Amino acid sequence: MKLLLTGASGFIGQAVISKLMIDGHELVLLSRSPSKLEKRYENLHTCYFWDALSGPPDKTVFDGIDGIINLMGEGVANKRWTKKQKQKITDTRVKGTQNLMDGAKKHAKDLQVVVSASAIGYYDPFQDEIIDESSPGSNSFLGQLCQNWEKAAQTIIEGKQIRTVIFRMGVVLGHGGGAMAKMTRPFLLGLGGKMGTGKQWMNWIHREDLACLIANSIKSKSFTGTYNAVSPQSVQNEEFTKVLGSVLKRPTFFKVPSFLIRVLLGEFSVELLNGQKIVSNRLEKTGFVFKYLSIGNALESVLFIKYIHHLGKKVRCFRFKCEQYLMHSPEKVFGFFSDAHNLEKITPPFLKFHVLSQSTPQIENGTLFNYKLKIRGIPVRWCSLIIDWKPIKSFIDTQLKGPYRVWHHTHRFLPYLNGTLIEDEVYYALPNIPFIHILLGWYIEQDVTKIFQFRKKEIEKIFKVT
């Protein structure tokens, strides 16, 4: 399908785009900064400038569009809720969504489905009973905001047979944004603790599950109407605090008093200090399977804590991820990576990288490689093991001996449009030496980025002449 997406550069939007590409959809992205998206995706998607408050998008945006995914909106927790900020939050969601729907009603002649975001702020946090999709909305600022936001999205069905899906999202857990971006630092410093009484419910969902849910709602016609996008296993703030402290191996003795939260956050504090358990009865009936059911597993994923088989333990890692698109078949691209000596061609010369030995004639599960290279001029030997070898689709090389404590590199080759999307995901950890992350973490991160930037350029050059 050809899909139009708002909020493409946002915390949720980036994850949704990855899932939609795996499903093979053609994407049109709307943004106030389309050049940033074009740089990120290398013109793989069509990007248009659009200021959501200026009026409907230009009619050319809607050419051939089969579906719309609407994720736009100023972050609710970005700033203190002044009168001006509340107006901005409202305008970017309600007015922006209405402008989008007005344009779609007029110009999107092939439109089949609209998926739009909402939030569990729709409900009254002071209700005593468990809340599901049939529960009434709140008269609070967030409650009225969500109700008007949903009404704006639903105007698309006026006089038309268009499937509409609305997800009332819980607290979205993911790296690099959302709630975790603000929670992690105090916990790492040993200053984490429950908020207020700690009895309030935290209705959460992992960002990857949310992205899968949105992608599934596009391709499955069984999705229609409103759903609470929350994990089946909500937790109270006190339990969440204990689990996060345990995962990070930090104490959670501190308590943030209710009065202090009210002073610091004003009206928004009500949303943090209160909250009832929310369930998704309608979502359960769709048969959707969550990847992250327990809060512990979700937090380990968000914080890049990975079980490393040859070490026999979980290690907190850094993660690097990048993508590259080639107008060649997965068979041809995978074939290139099936020759270990090609790795020498796409590694920066300053590393002096050479393959010394390969334990099997052809790469397969269990193949061992020995390399030599130089890191900042220092000679290093490296031994890696190939695991999860799936020809044409993916493989993993994991370091057994070398300069890192962990180097776990997953290579994926995904058919997309008429070519192949290469996805590199690396989990790495530095040696277990005191303060080494503080002293060298930033430099290593820069080195890894430079290596993969060089790699992308060389791969592009090689495949241009083949």
Q: Pick the last residue of a domain from 272, 303, 334.
A: 303
Residue 311 and residue 192 share a domain: no
* Burial (Cβ within 10 Å: 0-12, 13-18, ≥19) of residue 416: buried
Regions of the chain with pLDDT less than 70: 466
Residue 173 and residue 143 share a domain: yes
Map residue 441 onto helix, strand or coil: helix
CATH number at 345 reads 3.30.530.20
Q: Which residues, listed in sequence order, are joined to residue 86 by a DSSP beta bridge? A: none
Q: Pick the last residue of a domain from 249, 282, 303.
A: 303
Residue 347 and residue 296 share a domain: no
pLDDT of residue 389: 96
CB 217 within 8 A of CB 283: no
pLDDT of residue 448: 93
Question: For 335, how many CA atoms within 13 A lie in the half-sphere containing its CB?
Answer: 7
**Helix or strand run (H / E) with residue 96:** helix 96-107
What burial letters (b/e) apply to 57-72, b meaning 16+ CB within 10 Å? beeebbeebbbbbbbb
Q: How many domains does the chain have?
A: 2
CB 72 within 8 A of CB 7: yes
Which structural domain, as residue segments, surrounds residue 49?
2-303
Residue 346 and residue 219 share a domain: no
pLDDT of residue 466: 64
Residue 269 and residue 144 share a domain: yes
Q: Pick the last residue of a domain from 303, 325, 342.
A: 303
pTM for this one? 0.92
